[in-house]
Structure 1
């Protein structure tokens, strides 16, 4: 069982751009998040659709939540949530766009974690159906978010 944190303690993103409701699983290799697509989400279109780009952001923020959780819970870390950047996404397979009201479960599995670079394999599910997969490379900086 993971320690409970408010998701804003783990992510550098701030509303309205938060795309993870909660981190539900963490170990050094695998992390899993949940997120429900609400009608006011910034990726929802006026015609009731959800843009596919939401899936990339949900995956990236699940990676960020994993890294934030690691920073907060591992004794060798400094406890500060840092800013990361997507360095690569490939191959990205979007099988379908998410729907308003769906709860998405996103899993990231670390394949390589060298210095400040992490390579993950990911998949997003809705009601047990895989709707997106990709490999993503994330570069973690030493920068921490600023509060403005």
Structure 2
């Protein structure tokens, strides 16, 4: 992958990379992108759809991880393949562990590492961190639809 012709990840509007639309957006910014890893940031909102009792729920953590995968695919599609955003679905979640739920106002740093890409399926490992502590870890499988949903 030729990184010389791509914008810096933090300069890209992450919403341009996602098929999801507000209020269902669970990433705020793209912090990093390379051949194997992608990192996104997210501040837990008080009125978020996955915010309960002042914390982001476990389901919100899963969706944040999935949308980090979506941001990765969107960046790759737009700046490497020169095509639009694809719709993807969570195919499987394995070994999901929550150490602590992040509180409203805390900033998450979610990093996914692509372990394998096979026939439209991406297997990635993920870690969600906040203030230097691990919040959650998992392995996620994402299935992509071939059709472009957003140019």
Is the TM-score greater than 0.5? yes
Quote the Cα distance in structure 2 between the aligned partners of 1:71 and 1:115: 16
For structure 2, the 5+ residue unaligned runs are: 1-6
Question: Alignment partner for residue 68 of structure 2, among 62, 67, 72?
Answer: 62
| Residue of structure 2 in register with 1:107 after alignment | 111
Alignment of 1:1-148 (within 5 A): 2-3=8-9, 4-45=11-52, 47-74=53-80, 77-145=81-149
For structure 1, the 5+ residue unaligned runs are: none
Deviation of 1:50 after TM superposition, in Å, equals 2.7
Matched positions, count = 144
Deviation of 1:145 after TM superposition, in Å, equals 2.9
Quote the Cα distance in structure 1 between the aligned partners of 2:84 and 2:56: 32
Relative to total residues, which structure has the larger helix share, 1 or 2? 2
- SS across alignment from 2:143: strand
Deviation of 1:97 after TM superposition, in Å, equals 1.1
TM-score, with normalisation over the residues of structure 1? 0.91
Mapped contact 2:77–2:85 kept (Cα < 8 A): yes
Quote the Cα distance in structure 2 between the aligned partners of 1:49 and 1:32: 21
Deviation of 1:78 after TM superposition, in Å, equals 4.0
TM-score, with normalisation over the residues of structure 2? 0.89
- SS across alignment from 1:83: strand
- SS across alignment from 1:23: strand
Quote the Cα distance in structure 2 between the aligned partners of 1:80 and 1:101: 32
Mapped contact 2:84–2:149 kept (Cα < 8 A): no
